Structure 1
Amino acid sequence: MPLSQLVLDRKGAGETVVLIHGIGHRRQAWYPIFDRLSERYDVIAVDLAGFGDSPPYAPGIPYDMENACRDLTANFAEWGIERPHVVGNSLGGAIALELASRGLVSSVTALSPAGFFRRFDFLRALAILGFLRLTSQAPDAVLRAVARSSWGRRLIGFTLFAHPERHDFDAVYGDAQALKHCRAFAGVARAGARYEFDRTVEVPTTIAWGTADRILPYVQSGIAASRLPGAVHVPLVGAGHVPMVDAPDRIIELIDQTVARAQEGELTTSA
């Protein structure tokens, strides 16, 4: 049984691709690429437990990686899928890699994944995210006013995106509301303070990192490359922490390439 009945958007047909957002975010983070991916895949964008519209875990259940993987795979079964391709950003990237290390998915595309911190990197990221969380607690009237103005959208989004001006009022205000009301933020942050990705991954894997990432700086990509030498490592030149907004065409291209490598491997195995 799932720990939480996760809310999702699903569209398209073909190989299943599951999209996993970061801490404090929501499934709508993937909307810049969702419809285009659905033209050739069965695409699922999911709200993690305690974020977006998904309910939190029961009291006493920690928001650690073991439970995140357990919950997602239980939901996979309820959705009628097995070993999908997964794409994750930040926290979602770390979860995607964890799922792969357990043999639960067919491929991984991880965008600025968490878990490759240098000394003090986690505290830096938590400080920025904590500040965003704090500002999201402003009255809704203030959040609406800020989200309506171009300068406000840039002010809110510059830590996450290289191009915050590409977000409209609905996206900015919706993200602020999601961050304001998410119930898993503190639990995930506590678990993250002790988290480091140090497992092996044996499925086709792409790790892409925005060179303008202000939350998990691009230098962490070197740590990822040293720990996962078998992955394809790609710089996203000029992109920020949430690159689906900054480089949607490139992200779709990388997903296509990673899925294709998995398909080629299956053909080789069955030959």
Structure 2
Amino acid sequence: MAATASFSFTSAHGPRTMTLAYTRTGTGEPLLLLHGIGHHRQAWDPVVGLLAAERDVIAVDLPGFGESPALPEGLPHDLATMNAALAALCDTLELDRPHVAGNSLGGLLALELGREKFVRSVTALSPAGFWSPAERRYAFGLLQAMRQGARTLPLPVVERLSRSAAGRAVLTSSIYARPARRSPAAVVAETLALAGAQGFTETLRAGTSVRFTDDVPGLPVTIAWGTRDRILLRRQGIRAKQVIPRARLVRLPGCGHVPMNDDPALVARVLLDGSRSTAAPAAQHA
């Protein structure tokens, strides 16, 4: 069951109040987990148990996704607003500069939090924002097609497809390299989450002009990319390394865009290594 946190934060449009849903488990230094566009906090379920042995793990539904309502009326789903909301969430939960890990949109948000020094380390899995214009158009087109498919398919059809490995591939092969590993219940839940995501259109619109071009000095940064990512192609990891030259760039063999399901042990190890206080191990270049 999710908990909720309600808090006030200052935006470019003045002070606002909002509520976010989250789960929290484990002990150790805090690690905040941020999912991608159209997904929900359960994207992290395959690795949460592995992480919780060493970290206080907080998985949040971003505004307008999962069980979290959209941002208050009149606020854009842009990086500045999301940054302010997530920083206020951390204050409310008494997280003193947590480690942060994010996937896709969540990876971009994690890097933004790192750039603003709100966190003590960043691990970004296939982060958005390192695309060329053509790569962004391709990714956004694929995401919109996925969203349309999720909204069009009747629930009984989704449930029937989820019961077979081939059906789960139909529903989720865009994000997973190994969709058969995802449970039928999880596939149904994330298809419904994509179809019902209130923040999807506004978030995608806000991303049209986004490119991450700033270094993130002064804290450990890990960037990891699946070798079978079909949404954000792995060559974008090389660009990310050029923008953030001190970052550790890690290759995730056989993993898709949402790698937590494809290889939970590897991803958990990357996240734990990225959030250690000691020096990170040598990179595997993507």
Structure 1 and Structure 2 fold alike (TM over 0.5): yes
Q: Please tell me whether residue 250 in structure 1 is matched to residue 266 in structure 2.
A: yes
Q: Is the contact made by 1:14 and 1:42 (CA closer than 8 Å) also made in structure 2?
A: yes
- Per the alignment, residue 170 of structure 2 pairs with 155
- Per the alignment, residue 124 of structure 1 pairs with 138
Looking at structure 1, the residues matched to 130 and 31 of structure 2 have their Cα atoms a distance apart, in angstroms, of 24
1:50 partner SS = coil
Looking at structure 1, the residues matched to 158 and 193 of structure 2 have their Cα atoms a distance apart, in angstroms, of 12
1:6 partner SS = strand
Q: Is the contact made by 2:165 and 2:179 (CA closer than 8 Å) also made in structure 1?
A: no
1:249 partner SS = helix
* Aligned mate of 1:19, from 30, 33, 50: 33
Q: Report how far residue 4 of structure 1 moved.
A: 2.6
The runs of at least 4 aligned residues of structure 1 exceeding 4 Å deviation read: none
- Per the alignment, residue 284 of structure 2 pairs with none
Residues 5-45 of structure 1, C-alpha deviations (whole Å, 9 max, x = no match): 11001001110001100000000000000011111110000
Q: Please tell me whether residue 221 in structure 1 is matched to residue 230 in structure 2.
A: no
Q: Report how far residue 79 of structure 1 moved.
A: 0.7
* Aligned mate of 2:62, from 48, 52, 56: 48
The one-letter code of the counterpart of 2:91 is A
Looking at structure 2, the residues matched to 149 and 257 of structure 1 have their Cα atoms a distance apart, in angstroms, of 35
Q: Is the contact made by 2:97 and 2:119 (CA closer than 8 Å) also made in structure 1?
A: yes
* Aligned mate of 1:95, from 81, 106, 109: 109
Q: Is the contact made by 1:4 and 1:54 (CA closer than 8 Å) also made in structure 2?
A: no
* Aligned mate of 1:142, from 157, 164, 169: 157
Q: For residues 1-271 of structure 1, what are the structure 2 equivalents within 5 Å?
A: 1-2=8-9, 3-137=17-151, 138-202=153-217, 203-260=219-276, 263-264=277-278
RMSD: 1.1
Residues 204-233 of structure 1, C-alpha deviations (whole Å, 9 max, x = no match): 000000111000001111111111111000
Quick check: which one's helix share is greater? Answer: 1
The one-letter code of the counterpart of 2:29 is E
Looking at structure 1, the residues matched to 105 and 75 of structure 2 have their Cα atoms a distance apart, in angstroms, of 18
- Per the alignment, residue 14 of structure 2 pairs with none
Q: TM-score, normalised by structure 2?
A: 0.90
Larger displacement relative to structure 2 (110-119 or 133-142): 133-142
Q: Is the contact made by 2:102 and 2:110 (CA closer than 8 Å) also made in structure 1?
A: yes
Percent identity, aligned pairs only?
Answer: 40
Quick check: which one's strand share is greater? Answer: 2
Q: Is the contact made by 1:19 and 1:88 (CA closer than 8 Å) also made in structure 2?
A: yes
Looking at structure 2, the residues matched to 256 and 49 of structure 1 have their Cα atoms a distance apart, in angstroms, of 26
Residues 39-79 of structure 1, C-alpha deviations (whole Å, 9 max, x = no match): 11100000000000001112211000001110001011111
Looking at structure 2, the residues matched to 143 and 60 of structure 1 have their Cα atoms a distance apart, in angstroms, of 34
The one-letter code of the counterpart of 2:236 is Q
Residues 165-189 of structure 1, C-alpha deviations (whole Å, 9 max, x = no match): 0011111000011001110000000
Q: TM-score, normalised by structure 1?
A: 0.95
Looking at structure 1, the residues matched to 141 and 150 of structure 2 have their Cα atoms a distance apart, in angstroms, of 14
Larger displacement relative to structure 2 (239-248 or 15-24): 239-248
Gap regions ≥5 residues in structure 1: 266-271
Q: Is the contact made by 2:215 and 2:245 (CA closer than 8 Å) also made in structure 1?
A: no
